[in-house]
Structures are given as C-alpha cells and as structure tokens.
Chains A and B, each alone.
Chain A
Amino acid sequence: MEKDYGDITSVIYDEMYGKSDEPLAHYRAVSETISNMPHEELLQRQQAADLSFLHQGITFTVYGREEGTEKIFPYDLIPRIITGDEWNTIERGLKQRITALNHFLHDIYHEGKILNDGIVPHELVFTCKYYRREMRGVDVPKGIYISVVGTDLVRISDGSFAVLEDNLRVPSGVSYMLANRQVMKRVFPRLFGNYGVRPIENYGQQLLTTLRALAPREDREPNIVLLTPGVFNSAYFEHTFLARQMGIELVEGRDLLVHDNVVYMRTTAGLRRVDVIYRRLDDDFIDPLAFRPDSQLGVPGLFNAYRSGNVALANAIGTGIADDKALYAYVPKIIKYYLDEEPILQNIQTYLLDDDSNRKYVLENLDKLVVKAVGESGGYGMLIGPHSTREEQAKFKDLINENPRNYIAQPTLALSTAPCLIENEITSRHVDLRPYILYGDEISIVAGGLTRVALKKGSLVVNSSQGGGSKDTWVL
C-alpha cells in the first residue's frame, strides 16, 4: 500500500507511516495484507463486520433527536497498532497521572493542602459544578475515588502521546473496544494471530476484581451491581454488555431501596443486600434526597448509606472536579505536588480564560484555537476555530465574555492520522486513543483501548455522538 491516501501535511504524524513514505516496520504486515487483498474482498469483510455489529445490537443513542435514535458505532477494519515500547510509556504515564489525581481528590475533600499551599486556586475548585461539598470529610473505601477511568490521549506531531482529557466520572466506550476485538478476530484471524497482539478479553474480570476490592465487608462474598439510568441512556448497550461480562445484576434506581442505611435490591425472592455499586449514573441523579430532588433515576437515601460506609460506589461521588477542563491545566503541577515527579505524559497547552491576558489572546485568535466548555463532554459545547464560521466565533466570544470560568482554549492539534476504509477507499483520518484504567487494590490498564476515528475528512471530532467511528487497537 502506498502513502497516497490523503493530503497530509508534514506536521501530522501518521500511525502507519510516521513521517516517512514507507510503512513503519510494525505496520508492514497489515499494509501488505490489505494491499494484496482484492478490493471487493476488503469491502465484503467490512460489510460482514458491520452486519455483525448490527445483529449484536451494538448501538448508541444520539442526544437531541426523537426518532431513530439508535445508531451503530461505525467500525473501521484496519487496525491501529501501538508498539510495546510506546505502550510502556503510556502505561507508566497513566498510572502516574491517576495516582496523583486520586491524591488530589482525597485532599480537596479533606484538608485541602494543595489549595492552602496555593498550587491550585481555591476558586477553581469551589466554583466547579462537579465539586460536591457533601463529600467533605467523607472517607471512601480504601481511599479510592476513581476506580474506572478512561483517559483521552492524542499523538502529536513529534510522535509522542499527550493527554487531551481525563474522564473520571463515568467514562464509556470500553464495550466497543471489546466488541471491535471480537469482530477483528473473525475478519482477519490469521493476520491477527501472527502479530502477537496483547489480549484485552480479561477486562470484565479485572473490572470485577476492582469492584470487589471496594467491598465494605470482607466476611462474605459481596453483592456487586451495575446501576444504569436505563434503556434510554446512550451507553445502555455498554451497561448490559458489562453486566453480562461480569455476571452481575444490571439494576435501575427503582430496583434499589435503602432501609436503615443499608441498600437492598428488590428481587422475586425478596430483598437482597447490595455491597458495591458500579454506577453509570451521574452524581446529580444518584440520590434525590441528597442531590437533585427531581431525579427519578436515583435511590433515595443512597448517599447516607454510602457516607456511613455500608455500600461502596465506583466511582466515588464528586470525582468530576478532577476532570474539569480548567483543572486539567493544573494536572502537571498536581503530579509534581503529590508525587514529586515530572509528568511522563505531556499535557496540551491550555489557556484559562478568567486570566485577562489569556482571554484577550484567545478572543483575538478564535479562528486558530479550539474552545471547550469546561463541564461538557462528548464533543458538545465546542468551537473548533479553523473549521468554524464567523457567526460561531462571535457566539463563542459572547459566551466566553459572559462566563470566562466556563471555557478553556487550546491550540488546534495536529492529531495523528491513520489509514481507514471510507466509502470504498483507503484514506487518512484523524484518530485518538482512550485507554481504560482500573484502580482497585492496584492500578491495571488493559493493553490498548478504544481508538476513535473522526470519520469526516479533516475533522478532529472523534466522539461517537458527533460522527466518530472506531478501530481495533493492537498493542504488541
């Protein structure tokens, strides 16, 4: 296969070619297999893969549309390959980052040393809508706040990986990672077999081990459940998938109740005590007594049961403060403060807009920068300068002036590209990588993650809700 599939400029790193014209050594076999395969054959395999997703009902729901909300997350046949060395750096970097962020969460909900030492401004924490005052002084099981994390990485022009975003609330997508692998093994069995790809299939088992580590009582087998907002949630497929993988009950708020500070679930055989809840429900909705009183999805009294240590929640309540996009800018300092280490994975340069000179610079350069609302995820509330219209820029200018704390800006990134099969042609698209980190008795990361693809030509938005797709990710 030759490198003529796209108009890539020299600043962009390509996953297959790096910055050269020849496929990198570890990509050669994939490149050859695909080049040698008749085009029709390739298309047939892509169709077989698509059909397999459709039939398995691997879908997600798009917000803001009433009809036909279920869509398949598009899957690209050509794998994304990461070498063992690259992966080792990623793994060390993520462990370091997660350890530091967990320290940070404990600190801000207890003594607040990092605030009093002036490393992170008080105001940043106290004005964050994900900061939960109710968690002050609450001790969480084993001191672990963030048991399940998905961190978004991008490869920048020098070929190194940098962190784009931390997802510390309820990161999703891990089911696609697992489903992609299943399909890949069926579509390219021999190619896959010859590569010696590290397995990821044990994720479910590892997640269960992680959750079990949080159980408040050790004298009996804990009852672990997955709490979903229900069938209308965009990630509902994933909730059912993970519950099945772990062999645990998938519950909704209405299946649970709290009596005498203990959580029970309602079964046909009577009430059964619940010890650990892997919740895929935001803080706001989890307990109408403690948080949003209009929530019909939560369990009244759950927070009190949690506070008194009768039930464990993964993730803990109030972790959203640490993935606030404005706080992101401080993560290198946070790592240094708690671990006295230099960050292994770089951050992207970030402009905080409540600083006057930053704001001035950003407002003058809106056409070159990416602006993000700090509390949003999934690619919502974003302005991508180079791809935006004047009207959109003007709108963001107003939004920023109205509430500077609510936005950050970053340079437009030269996200790496990877070859993709799009509309019967092999062409390049931008990709990122979301590895999944589990923090129980120890931190473990399955080798790989979800490689997301911006399917629109030139687009930098990889979110499933915004026209993104995915690839299987091979770690060698």
Chain B
Amino acid sequence: MHFEIFHLTRFEYSNSVTESVMELRMQPLTNENQHCTSFSLQLSPSARIFEFVDQFGNIVQHFDIPEKHSKLEITTKSFVEVNEPQKLPESLPLESWKQLDEEIEKGDFWEFLLPSQFAHPTQPLTDLQKELNATREKDPLTLLREINSFFKANFEYAPETTEVDSPIDVAIKQRSGVCQDFANIMIALVRGLKIPCRYVSGYLFHRTNDRSHIAQDATHAWVEAYLPTLGWVGFDPTNDLIVGDRHISVAVGRDYTDVPPTRGVFKGNVESQLSVAVRVRQAETDEIESSELHAIRRKGFTVTMKPKIQEAAQQQ
C-alpha cells in the first residue's frame, strides 16, 4: 500500500528561548518491508539541516536555531510504500528454541536482549510474567502471539494516564497506558524469554472510518521480535495485531529512549508545550484516513538549559 504522511510538531514556549539544538527521528525507514520514496522536512524558524544514520540504522536529522524564538514548528511529509506482509505460520516447531539460541550465539543481538532504560526487569514485571505464565514450554511464535494478545484483554488503552518518561511499573500497576507503555512492557517480557526484541516507532493507518481511534494513534509504537526462519516479526500489543501493511516504521531501538521523534535542548527558563498533528492517507485511493486533523497535547521530550551566563549577570 502507498501512504502519504503529514506530521506537524509544534513547540510553544512561555517565553523566548535561544540556542535550540534538536534531533529528529521522523523519516520513515526503507527496509525489506517498506520503501520511503520521498521525505521532506520544513522548519520554522528555518535552520540548516544535517543528517546521519544512527547505530540502529535510523535516519536522524538535526539542526540548531541560535536566535530568540518562542515557537518552533517542524513539518514533515513522507511517501511510503509498504509491502504485503509475509504470511506467518500459525506456530513454529518447539525445536525452534534451539535454533534461536544458536542464532543468538552466532549473531549480534546483544542490544535487543539486554535490559535497557525502560525495558528492564522489575518486581511488577516479574509478577506479570507469572500471571502470563510465559515460559519456553510453548513454541516461540505461539508464546509471542499470547503475549501480544494479553494487553488488549487485560490493559486499558488510556491516554494521559502515563507520562512520556514513566517507568513501565506505572502502566503495569494501573493496568492502563498507551502504545509506548505496552511496547516497552512487551519488550521486557520477550527479552526475559531470551528472544531478541526491539521497539518500533511509526504510524498506523486506520482502514475504517471508525472514530473510536483518535488522531494520536496515527503515531504509534509496537515491537519486533526475532524468530528463527522468520526474521524480525512485528507485533502490535496495543491492537492485538500482527504487524501488516498498515504499520509504517519510522525508527527502531532498544526502547522508547532510542527513538523519540524529537529530542532537544535549549537555553531559557520557560515552560514548553508540545502539540502534534498527524495525518496518514492512502495515496492511491485518496481514502481519507479515519481521524481528522487535530492537535493533541502532551509533555514533550525537551530539556531546559539554564542560561548560566545570564545568571551570572544577576550578581549585584
């Protein structure tokens, strides 16, 4: 399927800031499952844009804005072609555990097996593992399907019950959260079984006109687990889906920490507010994506640098 994605990010500051430095992970990936045919990025205020590929293969743009500004707008437009997903078998033979362990031994999966910032073992996670009874007694694919289904059945999708930097325990204890929380929790569970697992940030296109999904789930997060003979397979625990041709990957990493769409630092002692608007359209059919364009507000991932020199000027 072909998609056109429009993504607007706006930072508004309660007062002027200077010397903003920012990194973006917003350009959809090109890999065996999808092809990003074009990507454009516009900034206001304008700045020179630089690019590099990070250690996970994500394309990162970065820039700095030295002058005073009280608003920063980032607009991206992408065209992506997503392939038909591979047909997954219902299950894998039990022997695939052995095969998996052998492949891990040989390959470089360390990043996606070791604990990371969000996805690490905690007591609530251990309790959850027991509740799920997720052990290597079943074949890996069946087990992953079970874990993937667990969230929709047992967790409530509830925006604003967690923060962007909440540890997984918050969502586990209150049994609610958003896609980011479910992905981080699932990663920790799957790695606990010694299956390599990674975080994917991206977009989800909603096929129907069902208004139960609001705009913010157009930006989405899910996981990919590595399985013998199948490679990286995407699971979407929020929607209990095997990732198909409606999931558009933007960046992969160990967990959310590695792939925030924006990460920035500026000088100024201000409150900052982030609004995001996303529109995903099927390019061929001109079918309008289910949710209308409207901004959502949530806490942004920015850090304030206090202007030290100006502070010093307050000596008197």
Contact = CB atoms under 8 A, between A and B. Distances in A.
Given A133-B55, A288-B265, A300 B114 contact: no
B191 to A, nearest CB: 13
A260 B65 CA distance: 9
A289 B110 CA distance: 24
15 contacts: A123-B110, A134-B54, A258-B21, A259-B66, A289-B21, A289-B23, A289-B263, A296-B305, A300-B19, A300-B21, A301-B64, A304-B23, A304-B52, A307-B52, A308-B52
B114 A127 contact: yes
B111 A133 contact: yes
Nearest to B65: A259
B303 interface: yes
Contacts of A307: 52
B50 A261 contact: yes
B306 A304 contact: no
A289 B265 contact: yes
A293 interface: yes
Given A134-B54, A257-B66, A300-B305, 12 more contacts: A126-B114, A133-B111, A134-B55, A137-B55, A259-B66, A260-B64, A288-B265, A288-B305, A293-B265, A296-B308, A304-B23, A307-B52
Contacts of B309: 254, 266
B48 interface: yes
Contacts of B23: 289, 304
Interface in B1-46: 19, 21-23
Nearest to A127: B114
A289 B264 contact: yes
Interface string A121-132: 011001100000
Contacts of A123: 110
Interface in A256-276: 257-261, 266
B194 interface: no
Contact of B110 (A122, A134, A308): A122
Contacts of A86: none
Contacts of B120: none
A126 B104 CA distance: 14
A261 B63 CA distance: 8
Nearest to A257: B19
Nearest to B50: A261
Interface in A141-169: none
A123 B110 CA distance: 8
A171 interface: no
A318 to B, nearest CB: 11
A288 B265 CA distance: 7
Interface string B114-154: 10000000000000000000000000000000000000000
B62 interface: yes
Nearest to A132: B55
Most A Cβ at <10 Å: residue of B23, B52, B54, B64: B64
Contacts of A45: none
A122 B110 CA distance: 8
Interface size range of chain A in the complex:
20 to 34
A111 to B, nearest CB: 11
Interface string A225-261: 0000000000000000000000000000010011111
A126 B110 contact: yes
B66 A293 contact: no
A259 B64 contact: yes
Contacts of A261: 50
Nearest to A254: B308
B271 interface: no
Contact of B62 (A257, A296, A304): A304
B167 to A, nearest CB: 16
B49 to A, nearest CB: 10
A136 interface: yes
Interface in B279-316: 303, 305-306, 308-309
Interface of B is mostly: strand
Interface size range of chain B in the complex:
20 to 34
A122 B113 CA distance: 12
A398 interface: no
A137 B22 CA distance: 22
A260 B48 contact: yes
B294 to A, nearest CB: 30
Contacts of B21: 258, 289, 300-301
Given A288-B305, A300-B265, A122 B108 contact: yes
Contacts of B265: 288-289, 293, 300-301
A122 B22 CA distance: 33
A32 interface: no
A294 interface: yes
B55 A288 contact: no
A271 to B, nearest CB: 10
Contacts of A304: 23, 50, 52, 62
Given A126-B110, A254-B308, A257-B19, A294 B52 contact: no
B43 to A, nearest CB: 13
A288 B62 CA distance: 14
B303 A136 contact: no
Interface in B62-110: 62, 64, 66, 108, 110
B173 to A, nearest CB: 24
A112 interface: yes
Nearest to A131: B110
Nearest to A125: B110
B262 to A, nearest CB: 11
Contacts of B54: 134
Nearest to A134: B55
Interface string A380-423: 00000000000000000000000000000000000000000000
A261 B50 CA distance: 8
Given A122-B108, A123-B110, A126-B114, A258 B64 contact: yes
Contacts of B308: 254, 296
Contacts of B108: 112, 122
Nearest to A305: B50
B50 A136 contact: no
- Chain A to chain B: the 4 pairs with minimum beta-carbon distance, closest first: A300-B265, A126-B110, A300-B21, A301-B21
Interface in B240-270: 263-265
Contacts of B263: 289, 293
Contacts of B64: 258-260, 301
Interface in A264-317: 266, 288-289, 293-294, 296, 300-301, 304, 307-308
